[in-house]
A and B are shown apart, each in its own frame.
Chain A
Amino acid sequence: MGELKSVSLEPSESGFATTRLDALLNWARKWSLFKYPFVTACCGMEFMALTSPRFDGSARFGAEAPRFSPRQSDLLWVVGTISQRQAPVLRRIYEQMMEPKWVLAFGTCASCGGFYDNYTTVPGIDKIIPCDVYVPGCPPRPEAVIDGLMLLQDKIQRGDRKPGIVKPHEDPALVQLRRKENV
């Protein structure tokens, strides 16, 4: 749980915990993402699978409740191809969302246009709106999306507002294992 992890309290102990306010806020934000699913295309099928019990890919991360009003949501999932005709709609929805807000590009089409390099497809939503996390795949497997969601949580915790490419997620356990092997 990010920076709060270092603070541990025994149940019998009385006392107080200190943390930076922004770290606390970011911690709260990253575990209570309200999503706006902007579902257009094939990826929507994987999105359904992601939210269904087998993968349970959003409830476990505090991002279960979908809000179909941009005013109430802070994470915009762009799921599927955005055509030129759809672009103004997406732009308006993004602008209607309240700060702080994040955008997750679900699938190759949303990330870069995919193999629809043609007259009607927007080559990536970052041409229109800022985007925080790109999940590749056509459509991505739910595991990949969960990874993307965790990357976004990391980003929120860091307070990083820069749009762009996020480095691949490193599992701390794996890093430790690798260190041991090297030693």
Chain B
Amino acid sequence: MEPIDLDLEESELELPAEPMHLNMGPSHPAMHGTVRIVLELSGETIVKSDVQIGYLHRGFEKMCERGTWAQVFPYADRLNYVSPMLNNVGYALAVEKLCGIEVPDRCQWYRMALGELARMSDHLTCTGAMAMELGAFTPFLWYIKAREMVWDILEEETGARLTHSFGRIGGMAKPPTPAFKQMCREALPTILGLVEEGEGMLLKNRIFLDRLEGVGNISGEDAIALSWTGPCLRASGVPYDVRKAHPYLKYDEVEFDMPLGKNGDNLDRFLIRLQELRQSARIIQQVCDRMPDEGPVNVDDPRVVLPEKSEVYTTIEGTIQHFKLIMEGAKVPAGEVYSYTEGGNGELGFYLVSDGTGTPWRVRIRPPCFAITGGLSKLINGAMLSDIVPTFGSLNMIGGECDH
């Protein structure tokens, strides 16, 4: 059958098209409440996009310049609030580097184990939320269930479910509880089982795959040029992981693989996170085997570490030491340092400037999300409107970290 509009000219068939402007966020369910994207659309295709952040700017860097060095820990917790322990450890390592302190072996193992637990919580939340935003609610519930198990261990260890404030300069607030290894050994198989179930549910789902595969591609070179780090960079096939490239703590003594993607699309970023979950579990298992049960957790340095409570109450030296550390803060030598660790989303750097007093002169955080969100425009330009949600979800933008 012939088309009925055969007699019309080609140009007459075209509808008048002028770009449509669309505002997405900040209070959009998939925008995590903190990002606004102003889009210029031609039909459903994104012509231009402007990603605006800053809706969760809380003045982290300014607040750090008001207290003592130790008072930064609670603020550091709330940067990447999905994996607070990694921030704690990262900041503690930065200050220790400036002070020239190395923490005891037991503490290093302990920090690694807690950090990897936090990484698991981060990846579980990210992958779960990503599935939820695409409409798959069940895996989200399963992953949150697995995350609760991680949090149970962290709560038992630190006393808080989410914001632990557990790191200290020169050690940790408390030594590991006697049941720590047992708890990890018991919980890990269940968590991995849940991960596998969720994965099985998602990766056989045509809708889920279609929305991820081949969407939001980025090449390795582009990702490096955009300063991407972490799982997003490794999904593009660049083998850069701070834990491997510049091992800190005891990461050079444990065995783990660095999963790499090929295409750098959303599916790769999703799969890399799931693979890293398993690697984290592997690291925790090795820590459980190798962490000594006895020994100090804090360095024996009265200039930075608080004395035992029993000493504070009974001896004059303890009282004075406690008073000085709390009121004046630990004196950190003058100088500047850049210390970097592998956070949940990539290289988490702290650039500290000290003038030799008990108050930081400048605490600069290098948030991995900031660089990654900076590249979002590049990913979504030219894509369809509905591709924004999976692409944005796979980047795992964390507001507190991105906006400081």
Contact = CB atoms under 8 A, between A and B. Distances in A.
Nearest to B81: A42
Interface in B49-67: 54-59, 62-63
Nearest to A119: B59
Interface of A: 38-42, 44-46, 48-49, 52-54, 66, 68, 80-81, 83, 85-86, 89-90, 93, 115-116, 118-121, 138-139, 141
A121 B58 contact: yes
Interface of B: 26-29, 32-34, 54-59, 62-63, 74-75, 78, 81-82, 125, 129, 141, 144-145, 147-148, 151, 161-163, 399-400
Nearest to B33: A40
Per DSSP, chain B at the interface is loop
B33 A44 contact: yes
B62 A118 contact: yes
Contacts of B74: 115
A85 B57 contact: yes
Nearest to A68: B29
Per DSSP, chain A at the interface is loop
Contact of B34 (A40, A53, A90, A139): A40
Nearest to B132: A48
25 contacts: A38-B27, A40-B33, A40-B55, A40-B399, A41-B34, A41-B400, A42-B163, A42-B400, A45-B81, A45-B82, A45-B125, A45-B162, A46-B161, A52-B141, A52-B148, A53-B144, A80-B56, A83-B55, A85-B54, A86-B26, A115-B74, A118-B63, A138-B163, A139-B162, A139-B163
Contact of B144 (A48, A68, A116): A48
A83 to B, nearest CB: 6
Given A80-B33, A119-B62, A138-B163, A49 B27 contact: no
A44 B132 CA distance: 15
A120 B58 contact: yes
Max chain B CB contacts within 10 Å: which of A45, A119, A141?
A45
